């Protein structure tokens, strides 16, 4: 019955969305458990307290929390943007989405691993690898939905599907560069991991055109 996997209920992607939102929310909130809590004994001066905070590496763990939190939610933003133009998920996308969520769930681990070992190439490459694999799963999902299974709303133009595909493809490439840059210096990788989600917020979001909008655009050119 491959031609109508979810024939019974049209709103079939609602629960996959709910599951995904749950995993995104938990993965980004669990990160807080990795922040190290400094303990001051009684009667310390404020300078001594800062010294303890420094030794406990609380600040780097907060910074790691922030950029992992943002990386996870940028993935969420894209997941959401693509879902908006979907008719439904099919079985293949369901499984690709599960694999995608698997990598999202691993981010709290790679964050803790990186924060513990900022100058280790292995820790840096692990962090980048998980982000890269999540991006690859996202690319595969997008490709299947937009070009193979024709599960996008039919009014979404092919031009805008292709334009967004290039944006989506930039993810794995960027993280591959970040991993490679770690050979030179792990601090370049870390900078890429930290700057990516913030810069993303100032770039145009994934955005699709309907056929009518495309016509208007063409007339204005």
Task: Give, as ranges, the residues between 124 and 183 that touch a copy of itself (CB under 8 A).
Answer: 153, 156
Between 173 and 211, whose beta carbon lies closer to a copy of itself? 211
For residues 199 and 217, give the distance between their C-alpha atoms in angstroms, rounded to a whole number.
Answer: 27
Candidates 87, 88, 117, 144; binder of a copy of itself (CB under 8 A) is 117
Q: Phi/psi zone of residue 57: left (φ > 0), alpha (ψ -120 to 50 degrees), beta? A: left
Q: Which stretch binds a copy of itself (CB under 8 A): 117-125, 139-147, 170-178, 187-195?
A: 117-125
30 in contact with a copy of itself (CB under 8 A): yes
What b-and-e string marks burial along 130-161, b requiring 16 or more CB atoms within 10 Å of the CB? bbbbbbbbbbbbbbbbbeebebbeeebbeebb
CB 93 within 8 A of CB 79: no
Q: Phi/psi zone of residue 152: left (φ > 0), alpha (ψ -120 to 50 degrees), beta? A: beta
Q: Which stretch binds a copy of itself (CB under 8 A): 80-88, 142-150, 169-177, 178-186?
A: 80-88
Between 173 and 185, whose beta carbon lies closer to a copy of itself? 185
For residues 32 and 35, give the distance between their C-alpha atoms in angstroms, rounded to a whole number.
Answer: 6
Between 12 and 188, whose beta carbon lies closer to a copy of itself? 12
Between 52 and 188, whose beta carbon lies closer to a copy of itself? 52
Between 95 and 187, whose beta carbon lies closer to a copy of itself? 95
CB 23 within 8 A of CB 104: yes
25 in contact with a copy of itself (CB under 8 A): yes
Q: Which stretch binds a copy of itself (CB under 8 A): 33-41, 137-145, 174-182, 186-194?
A: 33-41
For residues 148 and 34, give the distance between their C-alpha atoms in angstroms, rounded to a whole number.
Answer: 41
187 in contact with a copy of itself (CB under 8 A): no
- Strands (E) in 91-210, as ranges, are none
Candidates 57, 60, 116, 177; binder of a copy of itself (CB under 8 A) is 116
Between 121 and 165, whose beta carbon lies closer to a copy of itself? 121
Between 159 and 173, whose beta carbon lies closer to a copy of itself? 159
For residues 74 and 18, give the distance between their C-alpha atoms in angstroms, rounded to a whole number.
Answer: 17
100 in contact with a copy of itself (CB under 8 A): no
Phi and psi at 156, nearest 5°, equal -75, 120
Q: Which stretch binds a copy of itself (CB under 8 A): 64-72, 133-141, 173-181, 188-196?
A: 64-72
């Amino acid at each position: 019955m491959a031609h109508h996997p979810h024939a019974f209920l049209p709103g079939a992607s609602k629960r996959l969305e709910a599951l995904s939102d749950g995993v995104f929310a938990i993965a980004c909130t669990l990160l807080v458990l990795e922040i190290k809590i400094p303990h001051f004994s009684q009667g310390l001066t404020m300078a001594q307290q800062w010294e303890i905070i420094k030794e406990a590496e609380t600040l780097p763990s907060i910074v790691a929390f922030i950029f992992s939190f943002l990386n996870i939610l940028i993935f969420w933003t894209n997941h959401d943007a693509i879902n908006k133009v979907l008719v439904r998920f099919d079985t293949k996308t369901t499984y690709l989405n599960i694999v995608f969520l698997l990598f999202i769930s691993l981010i709290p681990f790679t964050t803790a691993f990186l924060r513990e070992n900022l100058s280790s190439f292995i820790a840096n490459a692990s962090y980048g690898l998980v982000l890269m694999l999540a991006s690859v799963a996202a690319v595969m999902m997008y490709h299947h939905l937009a070009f193979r299974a024709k599960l996008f709303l039919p009014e979404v133009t092919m031009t805008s599907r292709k334009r967004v595909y290039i944006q989506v493809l930039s993810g794995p490439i960027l993280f591959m560069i970040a991993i490679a840059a770690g050979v030179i210096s792990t601090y370049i990788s870390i900078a890429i991991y930290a700057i990516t989600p913030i810069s993303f917020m100032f770039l145009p979001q994934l955005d699709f055109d309907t056929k009518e909008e495309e016509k208007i655009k063409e007339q204005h050119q």
